[in-house]
Chains A and B, each alone.
Chain A
Amino acid sequence: MDNTSLLTWMAWTGPTVLFFLYIFGSIAAMGVWEYFSPGGAPRRGVFGLDTTRGDRLFITHLGSCFIFLAWLGVFGTPLWGGLIIAALWAVFVFRYV
């Protein structure tokens, strides 16, 4: 593979490949979930918003980004504390939002 190929140009690393696999995998998992257990119609949660399962995934991911950034800005590395808060946030969003 020469230096100008797409993969070289995009400067892929193992962790970023895993990151994008997680993003696309979670979107695909939502499709599988809906296929086997339909029920993704909007419902009203604690914030008074009507959200579908897809909306809740979006809110979870967006919120997690800010949780990690806040953790990084305040405490720096390692990010395990941020990960725990993000996981709790995901549970909260999928159950109550």
Chain B
Amino acid sequence: MRKTVNQKAWFLVLPVFLLVAFNALIPLMTVVNYSVQETFGDNVFTWAGVRWFEEVLRSDNFWNALQRQLLFTGLVLAIEIPLGLAIALTMPKKGFWVSVCLVLMSLPLLIPWNVVGAMWNIMALPEIGLLGKAINSLGINYNYTRQPVSAWFTLVLMDVWHWTSLVALLCYAGLVSIPDAYYQAAKVDGARRWAVFRYIQLPKLRHVLTIAVLLRFMDSFMIYTEPQVMTGGGPGSATTFLSIDLVKKGIGQFDLGPAAAMSIIYFLIILALSWLFYTLMMRNQEN
């Protein structure tokens, strides 16, 4: 059968193309232009070549911030993905408690990021905060403003509190969309709980898990507001992640050239890792 060729459909894509061009493509092109030039403001630019890229690649600050960023993202992904999946598996599928659970799970997602940082800032204060005081009363020396380990613990805990429910809600949506016939067939075969999870639920959740991993990876890799409000990148530079370092360079010091070069390297890392996650997860699914 011959397919009808109708190229007019491309016009329907035009609004999205324009939107992406204005909110992503043009700013990205501008960043590329800035990354090879020096400016002191007033739209006066001088050619700098690849000097800023060299400077960033040879800066200890950049590599240290990248290591911290990779560690932070690795930690939150390792906790949030299994925890979110576990919560989704235990959530009720029918009845009154479904709505209660959904509302409770959505609450952390509705709170603005700077408010989350401020809330945890107060809650974790060692002298007066609920969390800080409770940990110290257990005999553990905890002070997130002075100890790097405490600061990291608090930031990871805050991110897990803030974002695990996103993973749980995505997994829950995936779980409720599995037809009952699969569970009935498993029951007839006498499958145990683990077998149902391993051979029915997990394969059916691959798509939502891919989305969850990608969303959490990109978001956690770009984290700025919460650590900025909570620790300001400290103590010392213990929680200075890539975005905090970038903002200090771009806005604090107004070094637009080096900040643009750093942005491009940062963007390429996110692009490469997202592509890698996506490809590996989709390949497993095809296999």
Contact = CB atoms under 8 A, between A and B. Distances in A.
A associates with B:
yes
Interface of A: 3, 8-13, 15-16, 19-20, 48-50, 58, 62, 65-66, 69, 72-73, 76-77, 79
Interface residues of B, number: 27
B248 to A, nearest CB: 21
Contact of A77 (B30, B43, B50, B283): B50
A70 to B, nearest CB: 9
Contacts of A77: 49-50, 54
Given A65-B268, A69-B53, A69-B268, A10 B33 contact: yes
B271 A62 contact: yes
A79 B32 CA distance: 18
Contacts of B128: none
B29 interface: yes
A97 to B, nearest CB: 12
The 7 A-B residue pairs with the shortest CB-CB distance in the complex, in nearest-first order: A73-B57, A11-B33, A10-B30, A11-B45, A16-B33, A3-B43, A65-B268
B266 to A, nearest CB: 12
A77 B33 CA distance: 19
Contacts of B283: 48-50
A77 B136 CA distance: 54
A50 B43 contact: no
- Determine chain A's interface SS by DSSP, over half rule: helix
Interface stretch (B34-42, B209-217, B230-238): B34-42
Contacts of B37: 11, 13
Contact of B54 (A8, A13, A19, A76): A76
B58 interface: yes
A13 B47 contact: yes
Contacts of A66: 268, 272
A11 B43 contact: yes
B50 A79 contact: yes
A72 B57 CA distance: 8
A66 B43 CA distance: 30
Contacts of A49: 279, 283
A79 B272 CA distance: 22
Contacts of B115: none
A3 B57 CA distance: 33
A11 B30 contact: yes
A73 B43 CA distance: 29
Interface in B15-72: 26, 29-30, 32-34, 36-37, 39, 42-43, 45, 47, 49-50, 53-54, 57-58
Given A13-B47, A16-B33, 5 more contacts: A11-B37, A16-B29, A49-B283, A50-B283, A73-B58
A10 B36 contact: no
Contacts of A10: 26, 29-30, 33
B268 A62 contact: yes
A77 B34 CA distance: 19
A62 B272 contact: yes
B180 interface: no
Contacts of B33: 10-13, 16
B286 interface: yes
A16 B50 CA distance: 12
A66 B265 CA distance: 9
B275 interface: yes
Nearest to A51: B279
Nearest to B25: A20
Contact of B50 (A8, A11, A12, A72): A72
A22 to B, nearest CB: 12
